[in-house]
Amino acid sequence: MEAKKTPSADLTRKSGMFLNLGLAVAVGATLAAFEWKSFDDGSLKDLGQVTDNFEELLDIPITEQPPPPPPPPVEQPIIEEIPDEIEIEEKIEVNFDVDVKETTVIKEVVIAEAPVEEKVDKIFDVVETQPNPPGGMSGWNQYLSKNLKYPTQARRMGVEGTVIVVFVVNTDGTIQDVDVLRGIGGGCDEEAVKVVSNAPAWEPGKQRGRPVRTRMRLPIRFKLS
């Protein structure tokens, strides 16, 4: 059987009162510690017997500084008076006694254009008078029919077409710088260059009535019979 305490012996009923009492004591002790004052019991010094004059010690003499040097004098520019320009009057004698004859005729000056010199080494692509082979184009076709040979390799391969040859006709009609502009192969290109290189001299092209070097482009056709 569990023993029961009497209400008068139960201390938990007064726990709140004890807590408030403890807090009050702690706060009071803290305030008392902050307000506690202590004094030194040492003997006091009599400052009245001190002979030192503190006013003299605090009297600091004023430092005298020399005045700044005066600024250097500014040199004023010297203004020289220049006399006015003297007007010089010159007497210009004009003689109007000139005999002008009414019959005097002034010839009109004609400025002729300088002749244009053509450079000898210049090659023209277009000229006023085109170069021509001996006998004209009909003579050129006769020359090709007699001297142009169909290459055996091209005949065997069945190659046919047109070879475009480019060359230069000199001022004396000779032919140089022969090259193939467009070929067809099979030995036809080489045969066309050979025939043109061995051609007789042409009639040179002319520019302003003078023979000049002219670049020509000529087609040579290869066709199997």
Quote the pLDDT of residue 76.
72
What CATH architecture applies to the domain 123-222? 2-Layer Sandwich (3.30)
d(CA 134, CA 143): 9
165 CB-near residues (< 8 Å, 6+ apart): 178, 179, 180, 181, 192, 193, 196, 217, 218, 219, 220
Domain boundaries, the chain: 123-222
Quote the pLDDT of residue 72.
80
> What's the whole-model pTM score?
0.47
Question: What does pLDDT average to in each consecutive run of 10 residues of the chain (225 residues)?
Answer: 61 76 88 76 58 55 73 74 58 52 58 59 90 92 92 91 95 94 93 94 93 94 87
